[in-house]
Amino acid sequence: MMFVVSAVAILLTMGMAIARGLRGPTVYDRALAVNMFGTATVLLIAVLGFLTGRPDFLDLALVYALLSFIGTIAILKFVSYGDLASTREPDPEEDWTW
């Protein structure tokens, strides 16, 4: 029962993260949405493992956590430099509202 409630709560969180990624309005809302969605996927995989009585996929959830971290780093690097290979320092005065 506890796992069912947590699965429903995680699915609700996923829906709200999608809504935030859709509406924006700033780039940080969207970066946070995809990061939170990655975390929710990790949790959902873990909860589903226990829900079906086979928690063998827990290590897969760990790998997901690492992957979603890489994605977030790439997005934030792109946002602050405008380029993935740039070596210049970020300009704190720049406004990123797209």
Partner 1 sequence: MTEFVDVALLALLAVTGLALLKLRNLFAVVILSGIYSLLSAGLFVTMDAPDVAFTESAVGLGVSTVLMLGALALVGHEEKKPTRPRVLPLAVVILTGAILLYGMADVPPFGDPNNPIHQHVTPRYLEEMPEEIEVPNVVSAVLASYRSYDTMGETTVIFAAGVGVLLLLAGRRRRGQDEEEPGE
**Residues 38/75, Cβ–Cβ less than 8 Å:** no
Token readout for 82 is: 């405008």
Q: Please report whether residue 90 would count as binding partner 1 according to CB under 8 A.
A: no
One character per residue 39-78, x = contact with partner 1 (rule: CB under 8 A) = --x--xx--x--xx----x--x--xx--xx-xx--xx--x
Q: Is 16 in the site for partner 1 (CB under 8 A)?
A: no
Q: What is each CA distance from 3 to 7, 32, 45, 58, 66, in whole angstroms?
A: 6, 25, 11, 15, 24
- List the alpha helices (DSSP H) in the chain: 2-23, 27-51, 58-81
Residues that bind partner 1 (CB under 8 A): 4, 7, 11, 14-15, 17-18, 21-22, 24, 27, 30-31, 33-34, 37-38, 41, 44-45, 48, 51-52, 57, 60, 63-64, 67-68, 70-71, 74-75, 78, 82-84, 98
